[in-house]
């Protein structure tokens, strides 16, 4: 997976490029690439091209969220494809992980609101 990074209003908007499935076997790469970023700043991860996600992919998103939160930052998923959105809703994570706007949006766990970029 290659990620492109754009900095907007102290929030990194990362776009997963070249990845269409966030499943067992490629979740480690996502964690390796994004862990240092979520430790230092708020992140909105654009998963618009990801068509499939499994338990390992969901666990990776939860891990990134937890690491960001412990570091005093926010982490959300933006532009989720319908199937990814459906899977996150099925496990009750849509309120926590899905961005409600085009930017980082509101992170209920942190009580922060960032304007859409």
Confidence at residue 111, expressed as pLDDT on a 0 to 100 scale: 32
pTM of the predicted protein model: 0.76
Q: Among 4-8, 38-42, 59-63, 79-83, which stretch is predicted with the lowest mean pLDDT?
A: 4-8
Confidence at residue 17, expressed as pLDDT on a 0 to 100 scale: 65
Confidence at residue 81, expressed as pLDDT on a 0 to 100 scale: 93
Q: To the nearest whole number, what is the mean pLDDT of the chain?
A: 79
Q: What are the tokens at 74?
A: 């926010």
10: left (phi over 0), alpha (psi -120 to 50) or beta: left
pLDDT band per the 50, 70, 90 thresholds, residue 116? very low
Closest CA to 45 of 67, 30, 26: 30
Q: Which residues contact 74 (CB under 8 A, 6 or more apart)?
A: 11, 42, 43, 68, 104, 107, 109, 110, 112, 114
Query: Which residue would you say has higher pLDDT here, 17 or 32?
Result: 32
Q: What are the tokens at 30?
A: 């996502």
Query: Which residue would you say has higher pLDDT here, 97 or 111?
Result: 97
User: What is the architecture, at CATH level 2, of domain 2-108?
Assistant: 2-Layer Sandwich (3.30)
Q: Is the pLDDT of residue 102 over 60?
A: no
């Amino acid at each position: 997976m290659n990620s492109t990074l754009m900095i907007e209003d102290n929030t990194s908007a990362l776009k997963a490029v070249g990845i269409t499935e966030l499943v067992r076997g490629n979740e480690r790469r996502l964690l390796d690439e994004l862990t240092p970023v979520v430790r230092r700043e708020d992140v909105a991860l654009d998963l618009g091209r990801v068509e499939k996600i499994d338990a390992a992919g969901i666990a990776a998103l939860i891990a990134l969220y937890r690491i960001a939160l412990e570091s005093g930052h926010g982490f959300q998923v933006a532009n989720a494809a319908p199937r990814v959105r459906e899977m996150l809703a099925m496990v009750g994570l849509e309120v926590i992980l899905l961005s409600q706007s085009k930017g980082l949006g509101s992170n209920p766990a942190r009580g922060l609101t960032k304007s859409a970029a």
